[in-house]
Amino acid sequence: MLDFALSKMAVIGVVSLVVLGPERLPRVARTSGALLGRAQRYIASVREEVTREIELAEIKQAAQEVASSARLLESSIREGVAGIEADTNVHTVVKPEILPSAVATPGWEPPPVRNDEVIAQTLARRRRWRSRQVALPQWYKRASTPRRKVASDAARAALSPAMAAPGDFA
């Protein structure tokens, strides 16, 4: 950009005062300032638009790279699964004559339940219990339980004998 020192600006001001005169100088200065401001705003908007386009192009390129790496990962996973399936099909050959005899035997029992299944069921029960305990706020639990301590004698007399204290009835 142009570099204007204070001395150069003073020379320009004196020349414009002489050429334009004191009546038209303020109007010309105002107009030139408005035009300069518009030019600066236009340049800034063009700069922002170019920056935005460059960032958009970079984002599109990154998205394409991610999509290609996802396709490569998916294909490698499918190849691995296919290899595992092929290995399991080769090693697990069931003879048809063994399976019916094992089921038909009278002493045959299903395999026992594994410990991790029992643990999982227990943990699930605990979580359900905890969620029921947390579901009600403490103030509601306190308010809904029957009162054990009563302030007045009439209220103590109205309580059933099982809930009243031993020395309450005189």
2-44: per-residue pLDDT in tens? 677 888 888 988 888 888 888 888 898 899 999 999 999 999 9
- Reading the block at residue 61, the tokens are 């390129």
In this structure, how many other beta carbons lie within 10 angstroms of the beta carbon of residue 29?
13
* Predicted pLDDT at 100: 52
Q: Which is more confident, 5 or 48?
A: 48
User: How far is residue 46's CA from residue 25's CA, in Å, rounded to a whole number?
Assistant: 31
Label residue 149 left, alpha or beta by phi (over 0 means left) and psi (-120 to 50 means alpha): beta
Q: Which is more confident, 108 or 127?
A: 127
Residue 146: closest CA among 128, 130, 159: 159
* Predicted pLDDT at 170: 46
The enclosing H or E element of 68 equals helix 25-91
What's the pTM value of the predicted model, to 2 decimals?
Answer: 0.37
* Predicted pLDDT at 57: 93
83-121: per-residue pLDDT in tens? 888 777 655 545 545 555 545 566 666 666 677 888 888
Of 37-41, 42-46, 48-52, 123-127, the one with minimum mean pLDDT is 123-127
Average pLDDT, the chain: 78
